[in-house]
Each structure stands twice: as structure tokens, then as C-alpha cells.
Amino acid sequence: MSGLHIAIIMDGNGRWATSQGKKRVDGHRAGSEVVRTITTYASKNSEIDELTLYAFSTENWKRPKLEVNFLMELLSKYLDSELETYLKNGVRFRPIGDVSKFTKRLQKSIKNLEEKTAHLTDLTQNLALNYGGKDEIVRSVKSLISSGDEVTEESIEKRLDLPRPVDILIRTGGDKRISNFLLWQLSYAELFFLDKLWPDFKSEDLQKVVDEFKGRERRFGGLK
């Protein structure tokens, strides 16, 4: 049996910064450090083999222009500087979402990191960039229609950005919603909503969720 596929909605960067009298961008910067910490931990945890992180949604373009610009610059710096971390920890980087909306420079950084880590196998990190669950399904259906193939769950699923189902969804920050994230893949995921803000999220918090997950009974609509 393969390891767990864990998805995380990394919420609370702005509120974390505000609570400390800092700018919202400082919260995003702190949150990016946690991405590195959690990815490294997951790469060394034999129970986890796939980690999907909600970095920038299709709705995030609605945020103030200055904040969006900062997020784009932060993402670019992260992608350009993290190659050593990925290589050292055996992490394969894979983007999901419609990255065609990003600048050519940012698209190049995304592709470069994806290509240079394609051979790594300790962990796959899927970074959701300009991603929305509805948009993913629409793009999958359009691809299916243009192919002329029969419309089935299987034919739609194989055209998704991320065909693999999610085992565990974690959302930090206290809100209890999935915010258009992995709508198809979350069909039978176990959901964990944590009050802790993303910059305060630790490796031990992730492990506690994994340990609780192992105690849950998953029936996938059937009976046991």
C-alpha cells in the first residue's frame, strides 16, 4: 500500500502578521518558511508520499494588487532558491493549476524546478498555483470533449491536474470550509480543521493529524 496523500489549505498568514503588529506580507514570508519545514518533514516520514499545498487560488487575484504582486515575487524567489532543499530531501516538485496566467519568467521558474526534480521519489509535493477545483474540472471536461472519448468518471479523472484521491485534508486558521480546493479528489478524504494559524503550524501538528487519521474508520460509502 502506498503512503498517504495529504492536502493542506495553508490559511492564516495575514491574521498571524496582524496579531503581531506586522504587515500581511510578513505573514506570507513566515508561511513560506513553514512550507519548507513541513515539506522536509513529510519527505522523511515513511507514512507520507504525497503532499499537496494550496499556494495561490484562482480567487486570490481579487486581493489588493500590492499583496498579489508580493505573493508573485515571493513565489518566484521560493522556486528559484529551493532547488537544493528539494534535491537534498528527494522531493519531486509538481505544479497543479493554470500556470499560463503567470508571467513568462515565473512560468520558466516553475518548469525549471519541475524538470530538475522529476526523478526524485521520497515525496511528491504538488503546489497548487492559480488553482481552483471548479476550474480544474472544467478544464478536464473540455479536454475530454475535444478528445471525443466517452464521458465517465474515469475519463474525467485521468485528465485532472491531480488524479490521485486525497486521504487527509488539513486546513489551518480556524475556518471550516474547503474553499474550492480539490473538489473531486476530496470525495472521501478525512477532514481536519485546526485553529492554529499557518505560520504557527509545526511538524508535530502534522504528525498528530496522521496519528488521529490512523484511528478513523474509512468506509467509502459502504459498511464494515
What CATH number is given to the structural domain containing 191? 3.40.1180.10
In a domain, 222, yes or no: no
Instruction: Determine the average pLDDT of the residues in 47-62.
Output: 95
Instruction: Report pTM.
Output: 0.93
In a domain, 221, yes or no: no
Q: 3-state DSSP call for residue 207?
A: helix
In a domain, 219, yes or no: no
In a domain, 176, yes or no: yes
Residues noted as catalytic: 11, 60
Domain range spanning residue 74?
4-214
In a domain, 220, yes or no: no
Q: How many domains does the chain have?
A: 1
Strands (E), 64-112: 91-96
In a domain, 149, yes or no: yes
In a domain, 67, yes or no: yes
**Burial of 183 from C-beta contacts in 10 A (0-12 / 13-18 / 19+):** middle
Per-residue pLDDT of 146-196, as tens digits, reads 999 999 999 999 999 999 999 999 999 999 999 999 999 999 999 999 999
